[in-house]
Structure 1
Amino acid sequence: MQQSISSLAELLDNAGTTWRVYDMGRRIQKIDKSTFIQIENNQIPYPFPLQQHAFLAIQFWNSQESHTPYIWFLKMPLDEQSKLIQASRNHFASMVMEALGNQLTGNDEAQSELDNNPYVFTPNANKLAAFNAIIKNELKQSASAYYEHVELYFSGKLGFDDWQHLGLQGIADFAIRLTEPNQQNLIDAFGKLPQPVVQSLAATLEHSNISVILTEALYNEFEKALKNQDSENIINYLRMMSNTTALGILQRAVADIMADKKALNLDIVLTLTGRCWHVLESHLVALMEYLATEQSQDIFSGIFADLVAIPSLRPHMLAMIRMQDRSEQLSRAIGKLFQQ
């Protein structure tokens, strides 16, 4: 193995592994190899920054040894343009080489030595459950032991009040396996589900690339929540729709909430910026106007910094700084960004 490794992709390739990369920040989504290599080479910014970091899951295995994957959960720092800070990446790569050499698989004891370093993080329970469900589904492995009970629950045969024994991993498995009859059973269950189940669905379904039919059903529930000014369920159904293939329906939901200023609050804004950033372009000015008028300068500054770091939104956020026809409140809040 060569002594100098210029990237994690090269490290994984030279070790003879099969590998995949996922973003673990705003939601779980695969990053294809060519994109990851461009990120590592600083040819493009990281597409999904969160808190000035790239939250990554790198899954790898040696097919000649076992199909059981190893996983690194890494929190890598980014610069002000959301590009990878290569010195940190190089530091982690050198730690891997020191601990494992070119044998990245088959040495569990040496792998455990990598658990104590500044770049490793532990995803929360919801994301771990969703990630495990995604991985098992992609590798065509069986779902967890909790899945069948959850599947039976959503069929309605147990009664929807009997939810206390549902496992979070089972709900995550169900959310990833929404072929028929699971999808129709879920649609039929809307309006009957206890709030804890709705919340668990929101935390797992937001990572599932859902269909148009399911999105339409979720939009109907979202509209009911909006009409009732039910902030909790507005958030839950926005989260459930956020990774849909039907972007037009999600855009309609975002437009609905932005048009209803009485329903808008900070928790909903954080849901929009954290989960629905990819459909926010036409609402950025109105969103920042709301924050400048209704929230503190610290909150305005924090959300501005979060959005301007996202490569797809950065030009629009910077254009807002030069915009002439903005309110006095927005002008004042933007001005204070440069005084801090």
Structure 2
Amino acid sequence: MTAHTIDTISEFMLHAGTDYRVYDMGRGIELMDAQTFLDLENNKLPVPCPRAGQAWFAVVFWNKNLSQEQYIWFVKLPIDERSLVVQAARNQFLEAVVKALGSQLEKSAEKGGQLPENPFIFTPSQQQLADINAIIRRDLALPARDGLNKAIEFVKNPTSDAWQELALQDIADLAAHIETDDIAKALEQNLAALPVQVLTALCSSFENSAYDDAFTDSLINLYSSAEYAEIQHMILRGLKGSQNKQKVSSFINKLLNEGEPDTECLVIIAGRHFRLLTDQTLLMNYFSKVIAQDSSYQLFRGIYADLVQVPETRIGLLTLMRKQDLPTDIANAIASLYQTVSPQKSAN
């Protein structure tokens, strides 16, 4: 096997005889089917959830004939102006991998799945590591860790100081199994009684889970009564996992129309609830709040630059730029986009 005969990461995994899964880690953690990932690699599809000009993936692989272990590569690849993977970068990544490992992924396994140093790998945060490990264990139906039972017992009786014995991984495992009846019931009953440390970690993990209407209501109600802005921020992140998108959309609309969301809330809406911003009315309300938060338009320009890379929101943003009779604040903010581009063109 040589770099010249392998054109994609997908092919490399298949030729190496491994089973594998790919998770998009750009804006949360979302499973991506193998064909979609291959199409992204071949520039047939844009990257759905880019962030900071990069596509972020966790590639999980295992070879049942060699080991019972699973290994993860955390790969980031630059995208172009159309949100397509820059294939030269992907090829450079493959060359580094093939040169170091050949076709023998067990060489990687001997090093705990680590790749040779290259500019296309990244180290997730501790929260992301806990979440992706919990999700993989759940998706592959691997035996539950002992810490999950400890976390379940705590949320059933959150009055003790036992939370200090919980690891971040225990809390992530709990969130990953929120569809389990006893866990869901315990969380609905005791969510407001959880220590801040446990609640914020849980809410961060909830963004990568999937839960029903009842728990969506619990989070929304808790947002209204939360004592600290930090809790509200994490609840807003956690609402990404709700399967009732209409209810979340209504909540965010109300927050924008009647509330005073701070900068962090506005950034979380763009980062985690970007799919809701395909609604033009919500988008206009959202940008009005962004501009009210920062009249220099710097925040607006940063969020616009971020969202215009996301395929689902790009068309709406480009349409907004051509829209007639815009409110003055939004019209002025859009004009500021042109003002920042024009000097750059003149300098070039």
| TM-score, scaled relative to structure 1 | 0.93
SS of residue matched to 1:164: helix
* Greater shift in the superposed pair: 144-153 or 318-327: 144-153
Equivalents in 2 of 1:107, 1:38: separation in Å? 26
Equivalents in 1 of 2:195, 2:83: separation in Å? 40
Q: Does 1:293 align with 2:289?
A: no
Long gaps (5+) in structure 2: 341-348
Please report the RMSD computed on the Cα atoms of aligned residues, expressed in angstroms.
1.9
Q: Does 1:311 align with 2:308?
A: no
Among candidates 267, 291, 297, match of residue 270 of structure 1? 267
SS of residue matched to 1:6: coil
* Greater shift in the superposed pair: 9-18 or 98-107: 98-107
8 Å CA contact 1:70, 1:105 repeated in 2: no
Residue 46 (structure 2) aligns with: 45
Residue 308 of structure 1: how far off its partner (Å): 0.9
1:153-232 matched pairs, under 5 angstroms: 153-156=154-157, 159-178=159-178, 179-225=180-226, 231-232=229-230
Residue 335 (structure 2) aligns with: 335
Residue 302 (structure 2) aligns with: 302
Quickly say closer, same or farther: Cα 1:236–1:114, change in 2 above 3 A: closer
Residue 122 (structure 1) aligns with: 123
1:65-84 matched pairs, under 5 angstroms: 65-84=66-85
**Matched residue count:** 335
Among all aligned residue pairs of Structure 1 and Structure 2, give the percentage whose two residues are the same amino acid.
33
8 Å CA contact 2:73, 2:114 repeated in 1: no
Residue 264 of structure 1: how far off its partner (Å): 1.6
Equivalents in 1 of 2:68, 2:122: separation in Å? 24
Equivalents in 1 of 2:319, 2:73: separation in Å? 38
Residue 277 of structure 2 aligns to which amino acid in structure 1? L
Residue 94 (structure 1) aligns with: 95
Residue 249 (structure 1) aligns with: 247
Equivalents in 1 of 2:113, 2:191: separation in Å? 43
SS of residue matched to 1:154: helix
Quickly say closer, same or farther: Cα 1:112–1:34, change in 2 above 3 A: closer
Residue 103 of structure 2 aligns to which amino acid in structure 1? N
Equivalents in 1 of 2:339, 2:5: separation in Å? 44
| TM-score, scaled relative to structure 2 | 0.91
Residue 346 (structure 2) aligns with: none
Residue 89 of structure 1: how far off its partner (Å): 0.2
**What whole-Å deviation, never above 9, does each CA across 1:216-274 have from its counterpart, x for those lacking one?**
2222223434xx7x53333222222212111122112111211124x221111011111
Quickly say closer, same or farther: Cα 1:106–1:190, change in 2 above 3 A: same
Residue 140 (structure 2) aligns with: 139
Quickly say closer, same or farther: Cα 1:182–1:39, change in 2 above 3 A: same
SS of residue matched to 1:71: strand
8 Å CA contact 1:210, 1:241 repeated in 2: no
Residue 154 of structure 1 aligns to which amino acid in structure 2? V
8 Å CA contact 1:19, 1:61 repeated in 2: yes
8 Å CA contact 2:257, 2:285 repeated in 1: no
SS of residue matched to 1:148: helix
SS of residue matched to 1:65: coil
Residue 240 of structure 1 aligns to which amino acid in structure 2? G
1:12-27 matched pairs, under 5 angstroms: 12-27=13-28
Where is the helix percentage greater, Structure 1 or Structure 2?
Answer: 2
Residue 79 of structure 1: how far off its partner (Å): 0.8
Equivalents in 2 of 1:110, 1:97: separation in Å? 16
Residue 325 of structure 1: how far off its partner (Å): 1.6
